[in-house]
Chain A
Amino acid sequence: DAKTTQPPSMDCAEGRAANLPCNHSTISGNEYVYWYRQIHSQGPQYIIHGLKNNETNEMASLIITEDRKSSTLILPHATLRDTAVYYCIVRVANGNEKLTFGTGTRLTIIP
């Protein structure tokens, strides 16, 4: 699976959009981009995933660049409950489905 690079930490004001970047410059054509988050002391939670097109669900939006070498997770109106570690993961679909977690980005929402 392709390696990912994320900033170790970010702050965002409550109510503003949080934009979390991820670099995956060695991504292959059949690899998906996944985002998970881990709120303190809990198990990770799936947020969103995509292959080429931008994706949106009730939690977030995922913007993938045209060359697929980077992506951005957007939380449109961040709340204090969004404070968590966010993991960007790249993996091949329909394999053994293993996920490789890095150290992620610690996002702190500031009141």
Chain B
Amino acid sequence: NAGVTQTPKFRILKIGQSMTLQCAQDMNHNYMYWYRQDPGMGLKLIYYSVGAGITDKGEVPNGYNVSRSTTEDFPLRLELAAPSQTSVYFCASGKQGSSYEQYFGPGTRLTVT
């Protein structure tokens, strides 16, 4: 299993541009998440999904959109990029249950200038 994969690893955007961060998992997990991590800070939840076709907002959803058309994929869309969105973005997945663990991808480092 590849686990959770994210592309791209790095990206520089100009203010106002848009892009999609890709996330895929091959563990058949029903739960998937997008976090952002600013320098020296903990992770903040942007959006999450409990299954295909179902998404919900996390703590910091403004400026982002998500979709979940399949169990495997959970892309994050940035519209009209702003410098405040400069961050490292992590995707994670997990399987519901009391022994719940989240598995994280390697991250995408995004700079908006």
Contact = CB atoms under 8 A, between A and B. Distances in A.
Contacts of B48: 96, 98
Q: B interface, by DSSP: helix, strand, loop or mixed?
A: strand
Contacts of B50: 96-97
Interface residues of B, number: 30
Interface string B72-113: 000000000000000010101010111111111111000000
Interface string A8-30: 00000000000000000000000
B41 interface: yes
Interface of A: 32, 36, 41-46, 49, 51, 87, 93-94, 96-104
A43 B90 contact: yes
Contact of B102 (A96, A99, A102, A103): A99
Interface of B: 4, 31, 33, 35, 41-45, 48, 50, 56, 58-59, 88, 90, 92, 94, 96-107
Nearest to B102: A99
B60 to A, nearest CB: 12
Q: A interface, by DSSP: helix, strand, loop or mixed?
A: loop
Contacts of A96: 31, 48, 50, 56
Given A43-B104, A44-B104, A97 B31 contact: yes
A101 B102 contact: no
B43 A42 contact: no
A3 to B, nearest CB: 13
B92 A43 contact: yes
A93 B100 CA distance: 8
A36 B33 CA distance: 16
Contacts of B107: 41-43
Contacts of A42: 104, 106-107
Contacts of B31: 96-97
Please list the 9 inter-chain residue pairs (A to B) with the smallest Cβ-Cβ separation, ordered nearest first.
Answer: A43-B104, A101-B42, A101-B43, A46-B101, A93-B98, A103-B42, A43-B90, A44-B104, A102-B42
